[in-house]
Structure 1
């Protein structure tokens, strides 16, 4: 099968994974995929009884001693993706970027609205709009309309930790990357076993949302509605990781 990919940024969408991937592109000890999001382990068109990993490896530079990695943030959320990753490389290291789930949902909606994929207002999407996932395939999951569902971090991390050892997972926060990228990158280097480097990175903005009229705002009522939805899962995440979004 050849040299395996060493690490994967598995989530979460709209939580700074693009910025992290951009920063990691400057690390001399890393060989990243030719695109940020490879979308291999969430590909439902593949024969997962006998997957062609050669197609996956073709997205990376030839093995040259550097660690190979990619960032496809849907992997945390999409059914069977983590199980497929474990079947591929049970020793892989996983990086998880998290963001306040309310802000993540709002940012996700803005992206889909700007792309023209979404036409409903945010308030409706996080309420009755969630019914659209009942008609999705796989059932209950949707690549675009999963504004609320992707924010159940506790449930998703619990599933991840049933498949991988805790020391294979590094959890980071998007706010920390924005405020102090050098500290976050130092944590990543330590996690991946790379040599330490002096702080030399200036904060950068990557993949900022479009400025346009979205026709919606994140209202206090919407934020409170989502916080109530996430309350139990937030406690679950805190129990698993010690991480809490206030």
Structure 2
């Protein structure tokens, strides 16, 4: 049984997803705003911690210690992109602060899957080539959901539906990686407005943004693998577009 929301929650907002979607860049951009505080390291992993916290009687002191010396008036947030994929993280966050504002950065799921695989490969945590990892390799997801969920994390519709069942739509902001790449000034103005911050704050220069959102080191995705993933995601992308009110025809 979840505890009652605490009287004065410290955390005002969270960037909850998606992994390999551009959340590191957004964290950097938000940290530059004088009215916003996000702790380092970027990902606190508090609400998706299954073993370290008794969620029947959660102790929020570990979370709130990151904000102990922050001015009361600052907008306090954190960025853990695993939250939207985790089955319980959002309900735990709601139990802590049902008024929290939540930001999700969505990326073309085909590109996201490839970037995720490349990250694990670089870490030497993945031995399978990409074609096998996204086919037979999916059987390993139960073994390690965080590592091997290249394909599964890209089915956004169910994750968004879970989010919107817990939080009202006006507390949820959906961006895309392309918003940050190609339209960053108006996109950041939307974020400032969503968080109730000064919209006149200077946005980062484009030369700061490109390296944070670049996957230029990736070899091209094969037509075969792209087509395979595009077919898997096609119906889900239509559902996502309807849920967030965006044209996503360019994905896949």
Q: Same fold (TM over 0.5)?
A: yes
Q: Name the structure 2 match of 1:80.
A: 88
Given that 1:38 and 1:59 are in contact with CA atoms closer than 8 Å, whether structure 2 keeps it comes out as no
In 2, are the aligned partners of 1:111 and 1:209 still within 8 Å (CA)?
no
Number of residues of Structure 1 aligned to a counterpart in Structure 2:
238
1:183 & 1:52 partners in 2: Cα distance?
Answer: 38
Cross-structure match for 2:69:
62
Taking the TM superposition and a 5 Å limit, the aligned residue runs for 1:23-62 are 23-45=29-51, 46-62=53-69
State the distance in 2 between where 1:153 and 1:3 align.
Answer: 28
Can you give the 5+ residue segments of structure 1 that lack an aligned partner in the other structure? 137-141
Distance in 2 (CA, whole Å) between partners of 1:108 and 1:240 is: 24
**Does the aligned pair in 1 maintain the 2:134–2:150 contact within 8 Å?**
yes
Give the conservation status (yes or no) of the 8 Å contact 2:39–2:78. yes
> Could you tell me how far apart the structure 2 residues matched to 1:104 and 1:67 are?
29
CA 1:200–1:166: 2 relative to 1, 3 Å: closer
Q: CA deviation at 1:128?
A: 0.5
**TM-score (structure 1 length as normaliser):** 0.91
Q: Map residues 162-201 of structure 1 onto 2, 5 A cutoff.
A: 162-197=165-200, 199-201=202-204
**TM-score, reference length from structure 2:** 0.89
- The Cα of 1:17 is off from its aligned counterpart by 0.3
Which residue does 1:139 correspond to in 2? Answer: none
**Take 2:97 and 2:155, find their aligned partners in 1: how far apart are those partners?**
25
Q: How does 1:138-149 map to 2 (within 5 A)?
A: 142-149=145-152
1:14 equivalenced with 2:20 (yes/no): yes
Find the counterpart in structure 1 of residue 3 from structure 2: none
Aligned 8 A contact 2:9 2:97 in 1:
no
Match of 1:154 in 2: 157
Superimposed CA distance per residue, residues 48-94 of structure 1 (whole angstroms, 9 cap, x where no aligned partner): 11111010011224341101001000000011011111111100000
Superposed counterparts of 1:211-222, under 5 Å: 211=217, 218-222=221-225
Q: 2:116 aligns with which of 108, 115, 126?
A: 108
Aligned to 2:79: 71
